[in-house]
């Protein structure tokens, strides 16, 4: 039951009694049929959900993986900073050697 093609209109007619209005049998029967169809659809959806493969992509797992990636990026950033510092020192040393050799 999905979409407008399965829309159903139930008109509840009432019978006036000395103790008040009472819904007529036909309307109540239609309502019960629609409720039974809805329950059946819900059961089908539950079955489909149970057959879906469980995924390890829970928020906790994603958060843990992102934290691991963040830690690795911090380590990588520190390593790149050390390489850049070493490159700067190497460049300064090469400049001093060139100056000493007057190249």
Domain boundaries, the chain: 4-51, 56-103
Q: Is 86 helix (H, G, I), strand (E, B) or coil?
A: helix
Q: Which ranges of 1-103 does DSSP label H, i.e. alpha helix?
A: 25-51, 59-101
Confidence of residue 4 (pLDDT cuts 50, 70, 90): low
CA distance 24 to 31: 11
Q: What's CA 66's distance to the chain center, in Å?
A: 16
pLDDT digits (tens, 9 = 90+) for 69-85: 999 999 999 999 999 98
Q: What is the pLDDT of residue 1?
A: 47
pLDDT digits (tens, 9 = 90+) for 25-67: 888 888 898 999 899 999 999 988 888 776 667 788 889 999 9
């Amino acid at each position: 039951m999905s979409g407008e093609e399965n829309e159903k209109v139930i008109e509840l007619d009432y019978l006036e009694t000395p103790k008040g209005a009472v819904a007529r049998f036909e309307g109540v029967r239609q309502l019960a049929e629609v409720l039974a169809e809805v329950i059946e659809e819900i059961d089908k959806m539950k079955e489909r959900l149970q057959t879906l493969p469980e995924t390890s992509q829970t928020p906790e797992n994603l958060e843990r993986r992102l934290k691991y990636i963040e830690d690795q990026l911090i380590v990588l950033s520190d390593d790149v900073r050390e390489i850049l510092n070493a490159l700067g020192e190497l460049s300064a040393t090469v400049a001093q050697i060139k100056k000493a050799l007057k190249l």
